[in-house]
Structure 1
Amino acid sequence: MKRIAVIPGDGIGIDVTREAVKALEAVAKASGRALKLDSYDYGAERYLRTGETLPPGALEHLKEYDAILLGALGDPRVPDMRHAADILLGLRFGLDLYVNYRPIRLLDERLCPLKGRKAAEVDFVVFRENTEGLYVGVGGIFKKGTPDEIAVQEDINTRKGVERIIRHAFEFAASRGLTRVVMSDKSNVLTYGHDLWQRVFRAVAEEHPGIESRHLYVDALAMQMIKDPSQFQVIVTCNMFGDIVTDLGAQLQGGLGMAASGNIHPNRVSLFEPVHGSAPKYAGLNVANPFGAVLTAALLLEHLGRTEESRRVESAVVSCIRTGRTPKELGGELGTREVGDAVVGEILAPSPAA
């Protein structure tokens, strides 16, 4: 039996995670393959009550699970968001989740802001390096608060870190029968760190002669994603650029409420989360869009090797969208719980061939 740790987090993270859990329970029932789901209260409430973000031993304990499902983190009662950074970045770095996996897939053409784009024309993945770059917190401030203040933030790129994410992108493409990989950087300006990306990309590309390798500066990538998203199959880039272009990609598929992500270390416990924020002012109001969380559950199932169950969950979401059973942000009239119920109904419905 696969074991999943569930961390609902804060705000609407709690609301949408509840619906994702319902979908997981439904697909386990439909398939006859059980899942064990254990919930953990890591988030703002616990932090404000105890002063703890991740309690001692939490990382080692979470390593015993097959996967982690996270909702969202962020609460105005913790203005510096220390708990959110400690939990999310603590898990990413502590579990060495070096692959940020962001599928950009349009499930219904009505959700795309680009005129005339068909669903099949927005279907690619972005792999973002997840443990290095500007996000590691190396730097400092000198003479803070004075006219002579200096702030330095280091961009960390290691051969190991760059190579393993680029290799993952090519191996993913090869395993899926895909033939195009784009690497995006800013090596014309970042002439040291991104020169490393250039050299590693060329070396790994030579090992995959059947895959077309292409380089785009990140500003050109952003333009091309809008101009013609159908040209992309796999994109790989650094931590910061990946953070930015994946949100651009999310808009192509209907907004952040539709976007799922995985923070992955292959063959180890990995973490899956919808990419939207915690939106505290909407918490508990039954208005949040749960599709991103449900699609994140589908990614989690895919990672666990439960491909048919993953497809069943995604198909349920597609059916709900195409029949108008959606939350208000997508033009529907249903609340968070009602959307979740509709997804569960689709998952449990007999297949036409049954």
Structure 2
Amino acid sequence: MFRQTIAKRTLATFIPKETILPKKYGGRMTVTLLPGDGVGKEITDSVVSIFQAENVPIDWETVDISQLDHEDGVNAAVESLKRNKIGLKGIWHTSADQVGHGSLNVAFRKQLDIYANVAFCKSIPGVKTKIPNVDLVIIRENTEGEYSGLEHESVPGVVESLKIVTKVNSERIAKFAFDFAMRHDRKMVTAVHKANIMKLSDGLFRNTVARVGEAYPQIKNDSIIVDNASMQAVAKPHQFDVMVTPSMYGTILGNIGAALIGGPGLVPGVNYGREYAVFEPGSRHVGLDIKGQNVANPTAMILSSTLLLQHLGLNDTASRISKAVYDVIKEGNATTKDIGGNASTTEFTKAVIDKLSTM
């Protein structure tokens, strides 16, 4: 269960020191809910239903940016997070054909300085895969690199896109990765780069991670070129433990990790900043093609919500919900189509709720 069986290894123990928890009113906490696009509302509805059935002391402040324009939507989400500090988020869609608008996800992270994305690619009993027992954590720098969002057409037909890599942010994500490894009993941190070609930018990232790693002698410190990392992750994923990457490489490897364990519907994740934490599926799939069909797998979103509960100190509730999810998947009687079943999103959710009622 993502190494949750030993208290010191739970994600709840790894909260950036500056992160502020939401205020309690009458024992309850308000959390921002951002349903997202595609199947986002369907799978966040699953979490809301489970939390209601479990009487979790959380009130949702919902911000549906689909009802707003680009800038107003991001601003509304940002203001809600500034109030509540904690959020549960679906994936926002950014069309490749939409000119003049950058990524909503990138704009959101940059405004709140949510700099660290963590994706948990761990095999789940009951899901058939070609390679068993995968247990890989991908930690991605969220705010710069190719996702700096700085590009322009200098002359007609010539576009310049600026890849920004800074020492301070490379140090920050490196320290995050090594601290994570220490607190979760992980043995190795591997920096992913393309320093053989981008000697200055990726060279700075690789060298910074290596230097930060010198302060953690208990953790093996390694590096690998991104194209080789992609091949090795597919062929021999067990050689990796924690991978720390610039923005784009983490997105690529996160999708590989999702494929290894059975699909994007199974990968939970979280984004950390100095003051905010936003929990969302770790694989960047919106599910526009299955929107409204009630077939999406809500596992990644539910497990992300259990990480949120751990963050808030509700460890027993988090363990109950995650165990119920794993039990339902292992039994195989109410699983969704992406992992070989025939259940709908709501049927899977009901199965989890029913399982909780017997625990």
Task: Name the TM-score class by shorter chain.
Answer: 0.7 to 0.9
Inter-partner Cα distance in structure 1 for 2:85 and 2:264: 26
Alignment deviations for residues 180-230 of structure 1 (CA, whole Å, 9 cap, x no partner) = 111111111110011212221222111011111111111221122122222
Give the corresponding residue for 2:98.
Answer: 80
Q: Given the alignment, which residue of 12, 24, 36 partners 2:39?
A: 12
Residue 194 (structure 1) aligned with residue 202 (structure 2): yes
Alignment deviations for residues 280-336 of structure 1 (CA, whole Å, 9 cap, x no partner) = 342222111111211221222233333333232221111111111201221112111
Kindly report the root-mean-square deviation, in angstroms, between the aligned alpha carbons of the 2 structures: 2.3
CA contact (8 A) 1:186 1:194 kept: yes
Give the corresponding residue for 1:94.
Answer: 111
Inter-partner Cα distance in structure 1 for 2:234 and 2:349: 31
Inter-partner Cα distance in structure 2 for 1:207 and 1:75: 39
Q: Given the alignment, which residue of 145, 148, 151 partners 1:139?
A: 151
Give the corresponding residue for 2:8.
Answer: none
Aligned ranges for residues 174-323 of structure 1 at < 5 Å?
174-266=182-274, 268-274=275-281, 275-323=283-331
In 2 relative to 1, CA 310–83 (structure 1 residues): closer, same or farther, beyond 3 Å?
farther
Inter-partner Cα distance in structure 2 for 1:323 and 1:81: 47
Unaligned runs of 5+ in 2: 1-27
Inter-partner Cα distance in structure 2 for 1:58 and 1:72: 13
Q: Given the alignment, which residue of 331, 345, 349 partners 2:340?
A: 331
If the length of structure 2 is used for normalisation, what is the TM-score?
0.85
CA contact (8 A) 1:178 1:211 kept: yes
User: Once the 2 structures are TM-superposed, how far is the Cα of residue 93 of structure 1 from its aligned partner?
Assistant: 0.7
Mean CA deviation greater in 2-11 or 304-313: 304-313
In 2 relative to 1, CA 75–85 (structure 1 residues): closer, same or farther, beyond 3 Å?
closer
Inter-partner Cα distance in structure 2 for 1:131 and 1:143: 27
Q: Given the alignment, which residue of 59, 63, 68 partners 2:87?
A: 68
User: Once the 2 structures are TM-superposed, how far is the Cα of residue 177 of structure 1 from its aligned partner?
Assistant: 1.8
Alignment deviations for residues 121-166 of structure 1 (CA, whole Å, 9 cap, x no partner) = 311211000000011122321332xxxx222111101111100000
Inter-partner Cα distance in structure 2 for 1:99 and 1:56: 20
1:63 maps to amino acid: K
CA contact (8 A) 1:8 1:70 kept: yes
Alignment deviations for residues 21-51 of structure 1 (CA, whole Å, 9 cap, x no partner) = 2223344x2xxx51122212212x333xxx7
Give the corresponding residue for 2:78.
Answer: 59
1:101 maps to amino acid: V
Inter-partner Cα distance in structure 2 for 1:304 and 1:90: 26
Inter-partner Cα distance in structure 1 for 2:250 and 2:74: 30
In 2 relative to 1, CA 307–183 (structure 1 residues): closer, same or farther, beyond 3 Å?
farther
CA contact (8 A) 1:301 1:307 kept: yes
Question: Aligned residues, how many?
Answer: 330
1:46 maps to amino acid: L
If the length of structure 1 is used for normalisation, what is the TM-score?
0.86
Aligned ranges for residues 30-179 of structure 1 at < 5 Å?
34-43=57-66, 45-47=67-69, 53-54=72-73, 58-74=77-93, 80=98, 85-86=103-104, 88-108=105-125, 110-114=127-131, 117=132, 121-144=133-156, 149-179=157-187
Aligned partner of residue 64 in structure 1, secondary structure: helix
Inter-partner Cα distance in structure 2 for 1:17 and 1:204: 37
User: Once the 2 structures are TM-superposed, how far is the Cα of residue 60 of structure 1 from its aligned partner?
Assistant: 3.3
Inter-partner Cα distance in structure 1 for 2:306 and 2:276: 16
In 2 relative to 1, CA 227–22 (structure 1 residues): closer, same or farther, beyond 3 Å?
same
Unaligned runs of 5+ in 1: none
In 2 relative to 1, CA 301–84 (structure 1 residues): closer, same or farther, beyond 3 Å?
farther
Inter-partner Cα distance in structure 2 for 1:46 and 1:37: 19
1:38 maps to amino acid: E
In 2 relative to 1, CA 177–192 (structure 1 residues): closer, same or farther, beyond 3 Å?
same
2:348 maps to amino acid: V
CA contact (8 A) 1:102 1:262 kept: yes
Aligned partner of residue 6 in structure 1, secondary structure: strand
CA contact (8 A) 2:309 2:315 kept: yes
CA contact (8 A) 1:185 1:194 kept: yes
Give the corresponding residue for 2:52.
Answer: 25
Moved over 6 A (4+): 81-84
Alignment deviations for residues 57-108 of structure 1 (CA, whole Å, 9 cap, x no partner) = 65233212141111232388x962877823x222211110100110111112
Inter-partner Cα distance in structure 1 for 2:206 and 2:91: 34
